[in-house]
Amino acid sequence: MPTFEEQLAALRWQKFPVLDDGFVCLVDVMGDDNAIVQAARVSYGEGTKRVSDDRTLIRYLLRHWHTTPFEMVELKFLVRVPMDCWRQWIRHRTASVNEYSTRYSVAIEEMQETASEEWRLQDSGNRQGSSGYLPADLGTQLTEEEHHFQKQARQLYQARLEAGVAREQARKDLPLSTYTEAYWKIDLHNLLHFLRLRMDSHAQKEIRDYSTTIGEQILKPLYPVVWEAFEDYRLHALQLTRLETETIGRLAATGTPAPWGEEAFLAAQPSSWKDLTRSRERDECREKLRSLGLVTRD
């Protein structure tokens, strides 16, 4: 198995492509798995060495939300992202950012183009989501229109610059699909938080592509023990609310073996949901119990 230094040498400055012209690139790192372990042992003392190997300790820390040892590791990336996606990314306030300035320099020419088969339909249930794709012929038309629009927007921008308009003002009508670049530095604790939110199926596909690339292509080989624990205790973990565990308790108390049907589920739901025709919380609960095989999908 390659050492941390070997993995780092292979990963640094490698541009992992995302979307049609974006990338993520690892620039620098401070600390390996050992930095986390070392910090944790300051609080627990050398004695932990006897009862807990490094892997077990890292898994314990993550499972029990003992998060500060993970802040001892820092990672710096160079990223190239369309501005609409960057707008979501930049909401994560715990990173240090230095972004390409379109006041100082001419805006990056490339804009993110959507391929004809990649136009997503508005989800009927989730107002923030998408599901399925538009038909191919309509997709082709939308892609052509987008190409035309982006070209015109760029020409207008160039014409303003040539007329002497300041770069800070000339940029105002550039589309959000315009790429930007930034250095993004964040500690491992907050990076895992970012990844948990942005690799989730509820996150927008574009930022999911970026976060998945960071997670799968960079963190996984560099911090295999942390990554394994992250997948086990965060990414693929399921959180149950009090109302949900009580619902399971009532279903179990019926004495009928699982999986339970919709009728049994509705009878066991909390009284506060019973009068509601539509309840997002009830839907979320049903989905969790279905994923566990406790409620049928009929």
Ligand X SMILES: Cc1cc2nc3c(=O)[nH]c(=O)nc-3n(C[C@H](O)[C@H](O)[C@H](O)COP(=O)(O)OP(=O)(O)OC[C@H]3O[C@@H](n4cnc5c(N)ncnc54)[C@H](O)[C@@H]3O)c2cc1C
Active-site residue list: 198
Is residue 91 at the binding interface for ligand X, with CB under 6 A as the rule? yes
85: how many CB neighbours lie within 10 A of its CB? 26
Q: Which one of 27, 39, 197, 235 is in contact with ligand X (CB under 6 A)? A: 197
The distance of closest approach from Cβ of residue 67 to ligand X in the complex, given in angstroms and rounded to an integer, is 10
Q: Which one of 170, 203, 285, 295 is in contact with ligand X (CB under 6 A)? A: 203
Query: Which 3 state secondary structure label does DSSP give 91?
Result: coil
Q: Which one of 76, 193, 220, 250 is in contact with ligand X (CB under 6 A)? A: 193
Question: Where are any strands of DSSP class E within 70-199?
Answer: 74-82, 96-99, 120-122, 130-133, 179-187
Q: Which helix (H) or strand (E) holds 229?
A: helix 224-230
Is residue 92 at the binding interface for ligand X, with CB under 6 A as the rule? yes
Q: Which one of 50, 64, 93, 297 is in contact with ligand X (CB under 6 A)? A: 93
In the block, residue with structure tokens 């080989």: 221
- Locate 85 and state its tokens: 């996606």
How far from 150 is each of 41, 121, 178, 218, CA to CA, in Å? 55, 22, 9, 32
Q: Which helix (H) or strand (E) holds 266?
A: helix 262-268
The distance of closest approach from Cβ of residue 93 to ligand X in the complex, given in angstroms and rounded to an integer, is 3
Q: Shortest CA distance to 247 belongs to which of 230, 262, 267?
A: 267
Closest residue to ligand X in the complex (CB) = 93
87 alpha carbon, distance to own chain's centre:
13
User: Which residues from 241-260 bind ligand X, rule CB under 6 A?
Assistant: none
Which of 187, 244 has the CB closer to ligand X? 187
Is residue 126 at the binding interface for ligand X, with CB under 6 A as the rule? no
Which of 24, 203 has the CB closer to ligand X? 203
# residues contacting ligand X (CB under 6 A): 10
Q: Which one of 52, 114, 140, 190 is in contact with ligand X (CB under 6 A)? A: 190
Which of 199, 289 has the CB closer to ligand X? 199
Quick one: angle between helices 188-198 and 205-212, nearest 10?
A: 140
Q: Which helix (H) or strand (E) holds 4?
A: helix 4-11
Which of 55, 205 has the CB closer to ligand X? 205
* Contact set with ligand X (CB under 6 A): 91-94, 128, 190, 193, 197, 202-203
